[in-house]
Each structure stands twice: as C-alpha cells, then as structure tokens.
Structure 1
Amino acid sequence: MAARDYGQYSGVTRALELVGERWAMLIVRDLLVGPRRYGELAAGLPRIPTNILAARLKELQAAGVLRRAPRSRVIVYELTPFGRELEPVVLALGAWGFKAMGQAREEQIITPDSMTIDLRTAFRPQVALDLPPTAYAAHVGVAELLIRVDGSRLDVTRGDGPADLAFAAGPGIHRVIAGELDPDRAIATGVVEVLHGRGDLLGRFADTFHLAA
C-alpha cells in the first residue's frame, strides 16, 4: 500500500490512500487503454522519475489494482478487475478536469493513451446511434489513432488505417470537442488539417465527441 495514511475511516479516504499518490491515477489511466510494458508506461509518462514509476507500480500491485503478467515472453502490467472498476472514476475526473484545461502550454504534449481516454470521456453513444458507422484517422501531435464508431460502440487503436476522414491537429482539437470552435472554422484556420477524405465529417466527429468546457 502507499505510505500515505490519513488517519480516517471512510471510503474516500481509503481510495486516496490506494491511488491518491502522485502519478498513480495516470498509470491507471494508461492501463485502462491496455496492458503496458514498463518501458511503454515510462514513455507515456515522460516526466515521471524511474524510481517513482517503480514505486507506484509496486504500491498499486500490493493494493490489488494491477498485476504483472507474462505476455509473449515479456512482462506487462495490467489492471485487475478491481482496478478496472476505476474506469468510470477516471472518465468522470477527465470530464471534470476538461472544464479547467484552458490553453495548452508549449511544453505540454498529447500522448496516444491520454487522447484515447479523452475520446472515451467525450464519446456520446446516444448521438452515435443515429449516425452511420464512421472511421477517423486522427494524427494529434505524436498520437496516431484509428477511431471507429459503429452505433454505440467506440474502438480506438494506435496506428493508421482506412478511414472516412483523416485529419491532423494539435491541442486545438480539444476546442472542437468542447464546442468552442466550429469544425468548419477549425479547418479554415488550420487548427485541423484534412489529410484525406470528407472534411465535412469533422462536424460528425464534433457531434460524436463532445464535452462542454
């Protein structure tokens, strides 16, 4: 368990003792996308000191939040069923934090896993149910994601692939998701660059993925 002890007997207190240490919830966030090797976790959290990453992994494993598992002759870290119960908590935190993001600073980056969770947070399945199946190839900073929406089902994977709309963007894509920037205006001002496919589908993307800031 984490060393922090608040000396209180309550559910919130216990939760913070288990996952409230710095970096812990970001490790959980990335593992919600899928199992990761140690090096992959370190690459996805470039500012985390290696000793802190090792300590957090050990603490989360002791708490039953994650486990080490062999995969194709390598060891990966994956969430346990207990750890996966944190998904709605992480998504709710993301929606809450989205309201206070403000403008991105120059040194801030978007990672594939952070963008994947942002998309899960902003996904509106009730809207997608009324739209045709659509695939988007999104190049957001260093993150290359293939986003497939089919009714209420969302599938986000790393890499490129056949898509109805392929676009490139920076942190400004969050302004589109927040409804602060009209999709047509985003394209006209270069915030979003259409690489191929139908540019008008960015409007469908904005309808499907929306979080009010």
Structure 2
Amino acid sequence: MAARDYGQYSGITRALELVGERWAMLIVRDLLVGPRRYGELAASLSRIPSNILASRLKELQAAGVIRRMPRSRVIVYELTEYGRELEPVVLALGAWGYRALDDPRDEQLITPESMTIDLRSAFRASVAAGLPPTAYAARVGGAELLVRVDGSRLDVSSDDGPADLGFTAGAGIRRLILGELPADRAIASGVVEVTHGEVALLDRFASTFRLAA
C-alpha cells in the first residue's frame, strides 16, 4: 500500500490509510452502486487522472476492499465482502456532507452514481414501510434514474420502466430532500417539474427521502 502512515495505532487511522487517499472513497461509492469496468469508473469520475485511478484500484485490491472479476468477456471491479462493510460508513458520510451542500459550481456534475448514493443516504425505510409501493422516474441533472420503493425496500437503477411519478430537477432538489421546501412550493418555484403522474405523489417522495436540515 502506498497510503500515508499516520504513525498511530488505531482502527480509524488504519481505515484512513486504506481508503483515505484522494478518490478512493468515491471509487468505493461508485462500486456500492454495482460492479464497474475501468472505463465506466473513469467516465463517472471524469476528473480523475488515469494514473491515479489505476493506482487507487491497485491499492484497494491490495487492501482486500475490491477485486477484479471476469464478467461477459470483460473485467469488472467489484467490492469484496470486506469492502461492502463500508456501505453504512459511506451513507452516513454522504448524509452528513449533503447538509453542507451549496449551489453547484458550473463544472460540478450530478452523476447517476452520486445521486443513487444520495438517495440511499436520505431513504427513510421506516416511513416508506407505511406507504404504498411507488416508482419514480427521476431526472436530476445528468442522472436519469428509476427509483422503486416497496415497503422498506429501495431499488435505484438506470433501467427504464413504468413509474407512478416522473419528474425533473436540478441540484435544487436538495432543498426538497432537506425539508427546506415543501413539495407544492418546489413545483411552484420550478425547482421540480412533474412530467407525468399525480402531482401529490411528490409529497410521498419528499416524505420517503428526507434528511434533517
């Protein structure tokens, strides 16, 4: 491992030595969405230099966090069981950071992987368990996602499929997720545009995906 040595013997310093290097946690984040080819990781993390991506992948493999696997005649990277144990850490870190977001800069993108993890961070399974199954076709920035909620189960994918509610939004959707803007005002102000389905279902979405401001 090329990671820095903090000179301390503790669990958190070892964790930072393994996944604390720049870009490492974003690679883990994207692989939490699903296995990815090298080119898919490079496209999602568009500003990562190719030599850094290659180095991080080698380091994470050496640490037992990810592995290379053949799949349909191509090589993909996926998390090991040990790597998947980072999921609650990534979701908690994402929820913590989401509350500090400002308006995005022009060069900042919303990717399908980043939005998927943001939704998983904000998902309130206990609330969803008491609501009817609902599917949302969400276009947020450059991310087009099918969000299926069935009881306490959440599935977010880039698949096409029927949806009860379709909507488009930009980065301002954070105000809905943070509870700063109720659903009706989000629509009236243009933060969210409903493309099909019952407008009232946006209230259900806002109840299901909520982070305290």
Q: What range describes the TM-score normalised by the shorter chain of this pair? A: over 0.9
Q: Does 1:51 align with 2:51?
A: yes
* d(CA) in 1 for partners of 2:183, 2:54: 42
Question: Which residue of structure 2 aligns with residue 156 of structure 1?
Answer: 156
Displaced runs of 4+ in structure 1, greater than 4 A?
none
Counting only pairs closer than 5 Å after superposition, residues 3-152 of structure 1 correspond to structure 2 as 3-152=3-152
Alpha-carbon displacement from aligned partner over 1:153-185 (angstroms, at most 9, x marks no partner): 001111332100000111011111001111111
Preserved contact between residue 149 and residue 155 of structure 1 (Cα < 8 Å): yes
Alignment root-mean-square deviation, CA = 0.8
> Counterpart in 2 of 1:166?
166
Task: Indicate the larger mover: 126-135 or 103-112.
Answer: 103-112
The question of 1:181 aligning with 2:177 is answered: no
Post-superposition CA distance 1:68-114 (Å, at most 9, x none): 00000000000000000000100110111112112222221110000
Match of 1:191 in 2: 191
Deviations 1:167-213 (A, max 9, x none): 01110111110011111111111111111111111110000000112
Q: Percent of aligned pairs with the same residue?
A: 79
SS of equivalent residue, structure 1 residue 131: coil
Query: Aligned with 2:193: secondary structure?
Result: strand
TM-score normalised over the length of structure 2: 0.98
Q: Structure 2: 5+ residue runs without aligned partners?
A: none
CA–CA distance in structure 1, aligned partners of residues 3 and 80 of structure 2: 21
SS at match of 2:102: coil
Q: Aligned equivalents of 1:179 and 1:155: distance in 2?
A: 22
Q: Which runs of 5+ in 1 are unaligned?
A: none
- In the alignment, is the contact (CA less than 8 A) between 2:140 and 2:169 conserved in 1? yes
Moved more, 10-19 or 103-112: 103-112
User: Partners of 2:75 and 2:177 in 1: how far apart?
Assistant: 36
- 8 Å Cα contact 2:3/2:18 also seen in 1: no
SS of match in other structure, 1:31:
helix
